[in-house]
Structures are given as structure tokens and as C-alpha cells.
């Protein structure tokens, strides 16, 4: 009888340890599915208050270089994290070039813009591709999330 008590204690301790590991895994899977649900919201991942904690946790984890969480049982795929610190206004595209001063980034208009004055050699109107400085993103890192191979969304963090 005395030997069976340690076995009971050991079995109980082992059961509690297994339960806590399974409970943690269940919570982690739940968090990953919450993230996926929030990312699929057309109004943005943080539109609803319930989505803010899991999404903020996601951004923190990704910023630290951790992998994107996986929600089991869902046709879900996330790209490797990317980095794009600059962006341009609508009607412009990002132009990157390297010269003797290093790497330069600027925005160039997609279509020529009519101008007058000093830019033109004659008095008539001419067209040029306008250059503008790019904007810096508040959140320059991203992952591309695809759900069931149909819906794709870039998530910035």
C-alpha cells in the first residue's frame, strides 16, 4: 500500500504536466486562428477591439523574427517576412538606383505630367516624369497571407 501512493502521486503529476502542455498548445493554436480570423477582416486586422491583443502580439513576435503562427486545419499560407521601408503616393512608383553616393530611392510619376516654364525649352507646354521623395512607413515589415488559395492580404507590422 505504501508503494502505491508514490505511484499515484507520480501519475497525477505526470497527468498534470501533460494537461498543461496540451493546454498551452491549445491556447497557441487558438491564438493563431484568432490572428487568421482578424487578418481576414476586410475592415483591417484591428478594426474590432477583440482583435487588437492577438494582432499586436503577432506584430511583436514578427518584429522579433519569430515565425508566423499556424492555425491547424485551415488552408492558410504566409510568406516569409519582407521589408519595404518606403512607399509612394497614388500615381507614382518607387524607383531605386545605386550611384557614387550609394543607394537612392525616389518616386517617379507613372505618366508624364504637362509643365510650363523653365522646365520647357520653348514657350509651349511640355511633359516630364515628375520625381518626388518617398514616404517612410510606420510599419516597414510585412507578410503576405493567403487563405484557401483565393484571398491574399499583405499585413504590415
Please state the domain extents for the chain: 4-85+141-156, 86-135
58-112 confidence digits (pLDDT tens): 989 988 888 888 776 667 777 777 899 999 999 999 999 888 888 899 999 999 9
For 14, 47, 48, 50, 153, the CA distances from 43, given in Å and listed in that order, are 45, 6, 9, 14, 12
Question: Average model confidence (pLDDT) for the chain?
Answer: 77
Task: Collapse the DSSP code of 109 into the 3-class scheme (helix H, G, I; strand E, B; otherwise coil) and give the result.
Answer: strand
- The percentage of the chain sitting over the pLDDT mark of 70, rounded to a whole number, equals 76
Q: How confident is the model at residue 136 (pLDDT cuts 50, 70, 90)?
A: very high
Mean local confidence (pLDDT), 132-136: 97
Highest mean pLDDT among 13-27, 29-43, 55-69, 83-97: 83-97
Mean local confidence (pLDDT), 138-148: 82
Is residue 23 pLDDT above 70, yes or no? no
- Say what angle helices 52-63 and 4-39 make with each other, to 10 degrees: 100
pLDDT of residue 3: 45
pLDDT of residue 89: 97
pLDDT of residue 122: 67
Where b means 16+ CB within 10 Å and e means fewer, 90-125 reads eebeeeeeeeeeeeeeebebeeeeeeeeeeeeeeee
Amino acid at each position: 500500500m505504501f508503494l502505491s501512493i508514490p505511484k499515484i502521486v507520480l501519475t497525477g503529476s505526470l497527468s498534470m504536466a501533460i494537461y498543461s502542455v496540451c493546454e498551452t498548445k491549445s491556447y497557441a493554436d487558438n491564438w493563431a486562428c484568432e490572428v487568421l480570423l482578424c487578418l481576414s477582416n476586410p475592415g483591417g486586422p484591428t478594426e474590432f477591439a477583440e482583435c487588437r491583443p492577438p494582432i499586436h502580439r503577432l506584430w511583436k513576435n514578427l518584429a522579433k523574427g519569430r515565425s508566423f503562427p499556424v492555425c491547424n486545419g485551415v488552408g492558410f499560407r504566409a510568406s516569409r517576412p519582407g521589408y519595404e521601408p518606403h512607399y509612394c503616393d497614388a500615381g507614382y512608383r518607387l524607383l531605386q538606383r545605386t550611384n557614387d553616393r550609394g543607394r537612392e530611392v525616389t518616386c517617379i510619376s507613372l505618366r508624364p505630367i504637362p509643365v510650363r516654364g523653365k522646365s520647357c525649352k520653348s514657350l509651349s507646354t511640355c511633359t516630364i516624369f515628375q520625381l518626388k521623395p518617398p514616404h517612410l512607413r510606420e510599419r516597414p515589415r510585412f507578410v503576405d497571407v493567403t487563405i484557401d488559395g483565393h484571398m491574399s492580404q499583405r499585413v504590415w507590422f
